[in-house]
Each structure stands twice: as C-alpha cells, then as structure tokens.
Amino acid sequence: MTQASLVRGASAPALLEYTIGEALLRAAKKWPKQEALVSVHQGIRWTYEQFSFQVDRLAAGLLALGLKTGDRVGVWAPNCAEWTLVQFATARVGMIQVNINPAYRLSEVEYTLNKVGVKVLICAEKFKTSDYVGMINELAPEVATSKLGELKSKRLPDLRVVAQIGGQPGPGWMAFEEISAQATGKHGLQIEEIAQTLDRNDPINIQFTSGTTGLPKGATLSHRNILNNAYFVGLGMGLREADRLLVPVPLYHCFGMVMSNLACIVHGATIIYPSEGFDPLAVLKTVQAERCTALHGVPTMFIAELQHPDFDKFDLSSLRTGVMAGSPCPIEVMKKVIDRMNMREVGIAYGMTETSPVSFQTAMNDPLERRVSTVGRVQPHLEGESGRREWRYRSARSARRTLYARLFRHDRLLGRSGENR
C-alpha cells in the first residue's frame, strides 16, 4: 500500500491579483475587435469591446433597480448570452451571482432562493420540461399584482424583482432587456466608483452543490478564487489568444462558468455556445462552422459526439485542445478523441465546487495512459494529499474530504471564503 504524501503545486506563474470586472476591462482594452462571445442558437456575436459595453449597460440597470454591492442576483437559465452578461455585470459592481441549476424543481428553487436571500431573479421562460416562470408564479402568486421592485412574497420574502429571458413577460415580470433600460447616466458613472471599492477577495459567486447532504449546499467563492482557477486551467490546456472554445457544458456549473467563460476572458479566447443544452449534432456543426480550436465536455458528451451517425460528415481538423472532466475517461474514448477529433492536447481535470473547482490537471504532453489513469498534478499555489505525484481516480474518490481540508487550509493563498453561506 502506497503511503500518502503531501504534494505542493508550483509557486509560478504568480496569482492574478485583480477582480473579475477588471479582468474584463483588461481584455476589452487588449483585444477590442476580437470576438469575445458567440451564441450560435441566438444569433449573437460580440467583440470584446461590444461585450464589455453590454455588461456595463446591465450593471447600470441592476444599480437602477436599487441593488447594492453584496446583494444576491439569481440566474436560472440554460446556456445563453444573457447568463454570461449577468455573470460579468454582477462582478463589475460587486453583487453576488447565485447559480441555479436549470433542472431544479419547485422545492429546490424555493430552498435555494431563501437560503442565500436572492433579491433579483433572472430566469428563462422555460427549458425542456421546466416552466420556470410558472414555478415562480406558483411560489409567489403576489408577482402578478406587484409593482416593479416591490415584490413582497410570503414564501420568497427576500425576492424583490423577477426578470424573464425570452418570451412575453406576464404581469409583474420584467423583460431581461428592461433591466438595462432602467439605467441613467448617473448609474453608468456609479459603476467605476463602485469598482474602485471592490477587493479581489470579496465573495462574488454562490454555487450550489449536493455534497453529502440531502439539500444543496451553497459554496461561496471570491473573485480571486475563480479567476485564478480559470487562469491556471487555461494555461494547463494551452488556451491562448484567438483560440475559439466551444462550450456545451452547463454554465450554472463551475465547468462552464469558470473553466470555460472565465478562462477565455483571461487568455483572450472566444466563448462559443452551440445550443441551450447539450446536443452532440450542434457541437459537431459548430466546431466546423466556427472553426473551433478547443472543446470542453464530460466523457459521456465526447462519447455521444463520437457515436453520432453523422460524425464523419464534419471537418473537425481545427480542434487542438480541450478539457475532459466530471468522471474517469476510458482509454479507448481518449484515443478516439485524440485521433478522430484531432484533440491531441486534450487533458483531464479534477476538482470540486468548493475549490473553485480544479485542483489537479494533466499536462498537454502527458502520455495517453497517464491522461486516463490519473488526474495529473496539483495546480500551482495549492497543496493536496496523494498516494503518488499523479492522483489516481480511486484515491480522488476516497480522499475527497482530505483534499478539501488541505485546500481549505490554504485559504490565504487563493483568498477562499471557505465556509458555505
């Protein structure tokens, strides 16, 4: 039996010591005319300059609704451009974005909204079999008779505003576009004033994870947590300026929000959404049409893409790299991803929501066997307990709590807020 040992990540490169809002401003200044966000299913295509402008319009609108730094804004929707605007607009003015799983049912969303005191909820009209607006109307029938910003609900006592993405809003609901329309020049000026008061260690995001309990747990993460995680994940997969990353993984999860969205922003790549939810055909079509160079996914997504009957009809030669995470990858699947999808630099990542999320990652030049039988090496500025230098999956599952304890001790390195709130 191998004796456990402590592994420490490298101390270089240095950590990024600024907020998410500043990261976006830096990107917009450095790559103004480069595409930042492409949402294929919505027909949206924004450069970094345009994206930053849209973010600030929304941030000003949130201020016009009476929100302040530290207030909670919930987003309950599948992958779409609006989701990402909320992510960066809240960060610009220090509001805390609360990610809500699109699959949640009535009791789960009620628990989530009340647990963290969400004041503004931005949600899609519906997705698949979920009628989000209908569920909120059932929880808070007072919406239909409330004035803008003055909702008072018995079951959702903290909620003040509900805004709808898409469709025709009913009584008491705002259209998503109306939020930005509320802003005046005064609110635009307040953005920079507020930004100057924000600290990189401020909490900025609450993500819910099931953990070992029956009810979801809200893990509170800071600018510094998730921005640095995105930075190092991007370095680990060789993400660089002008790369085009296809994102079929859900945004409400760390994978989409941090490893995809934020990684693109800090490395100057383009975020590309092929569809609202995962669709293997949409992935294949979009890789070819948008000449994507990188792709994220869990093993079952890659399997579905490889097994699609039209797989051979698509040109995937533009792909180079990516990340596979969420569960172990069978070696035969990895071989096919490298050989048939041209993803010669694809790697494996392992982590937890509480740790922002990635703690271990394989290298682009690791041998195939190492990529599928381990989760690689500990990330820079972190430490963990391991049976050997490369963490094996069986160790990862059995030592989850041990790793969390080790990483939690290093709050000061990454400014982790730690305890669920």
Q: What is the pLDDT of residues 267-288, one digit of tens each?
A: 999 999 999 999 999 999 999 9
The pLDDT assigned to 377 comes to: 87
Task: Give the number of other CB atoms < 10 A from CB of residue 397.
Answer: 10
Per-residue pLDDT at 388 exceeds 60: no
32 versus 326: the higher-pLDDT residue is 32
pLDDT at residue 404, rounded to an integer? 38
**Paired tokens of 144:** 């239909």
Question: Does residue 399 register a pLDDT over 90?
Answer: no
What percentage of the chain exceeds 70 in pLDDT?
A: 90
* Overall average pLDDT of the 170-194 stretch: 96
Residue 214, Cβ neighbours under 10 Å: how many? 6
CA 339 to chain centre: 28
Residue 386 confidence class, pLDDT cut points 50, 70, 90: low
400 pLDDT more than 70? no
Q: Would you state the pLDDT for residue 266?
A: 98
What is the secondary structure of 318-362 as a DSSP string?
A: T--EEEEESS---HHHHHHHHHHS--TT-EEEEE-GGGSSEEEE-
Whether residue 407 has pLDDT greater than 80: no
Give me the pLDDT at residue 409, please. 34
User: So what's the pLDDT on residue 327?
Assistant: 80
Does 357 sit behind a cis peptide bond, omega within 30 degrees of 0 on the bond before it? yes
Q: Is the pLDDT of residue 1 over 70?
A: no
| Mean pLDDT value of segment 188-209 | 96
pLDDT of residue 396: 39
Give the SS3 label for residue 7: strand
Q: Residue 219: which of 175, 167, 258, 169 has the closest Cα?
A: 258
Residue 3: band (very low, low, confident or very high) from pLDDT cuts 50, 70, 90: low
Residue 421 has pLDDT above 70, yes or no: no
280, with CB counted inside 10 A (0-12, 13-18, 19+), is buried
325 has pLDDT over 50: yes
What 8-state DSSP symbol labels residue 389? S
- Max CA pair span of the chain: 66
Fold match, 11-17+223-414 / 48-195:
yes
pLDDT for res 107: 93
Dihedral sign for Cα 288, 290, 291, 292, please: negative
Which regions of 57-160 does DSSP assign to beta strands (E)? Answer: 72-76, 96-99, 118-124
Residue predicted with more confidence, 292 or 209: 292
The pLDDT value recorded for residue 196 is 97
Mean pLDDT to the nearest integer, 371-394 = 70
Residue 364 has pLDDT above 60, yes or no: yes
Residue with tokens 């990188």: 294
Kindly indicate the confidence band of residue 149, based on its pLDDT and cuts at 50, 70 and 90. confident
Mean pLDDT of the chain: 90
Range name among 123-132, 209-218, 354-363, 395-404 with the lowest pLDDT average: 395-404
Of the ranges 126-135, 265-274, 387-396, 410-419, which one carries the lowest mean pLDDT score? 410-419
Mean pLDDT on 204-209:
94
Superfamily of structural domain 11-17+223-414:
ANL, N-terminal domain (3.40.50.12780)
* SS3 (DSSP) at 46: strand
CA distance 317 to 341: 7
Q: Reduced to 3 states, what is the DSSP secondary structure of residue 296?
A: strand
CA dist 84 and 376 (Å) reads 30
User: What is the band of 375 on the pLDDT scale with cuts at 50, 70, 90?
Assistant: confident
Q: What is the rounded average pLDDT of the residues 306-329?
A: 94
pLDDT tens for 10-49 read 889 999 999 999 999 999 999 999 999 999 999 999 999 9
**Region 48-195: CATH code:** 3.40.50.12780
In the predicted structure, residue 205 carries a pLDDT above the cut 50: yes
Cα separation values, 240 from 12, 63, 70, 243, 268, Å: 18, 34, 33, 6, 6
Phi, psi of 200 (to 5 degrees): -60, -20
- The CA angle 99-93-379, to the nearest 5 degrees, is 60
Measured distance CA(92)–CA(332) in Å, rounded: 44
Q: Is the pLDDT of residue 324 over 70?
A: yes
Asked if the model's pLDDT at residue 420 lies above 50, the reply is no
The C-alpha atoms of residue 277 and residue 288 are separated, in whole angstroms, by 19
pLDDT-based confidence at 4, cuts 50/70/90? low
Domain boundaries, the chain: 11-17+223-414, 48-195
> What is the pTM (predicted TM-score) of this model?
0.91
Predicted local distance difference test score (pLDDT) of residue 416:
38
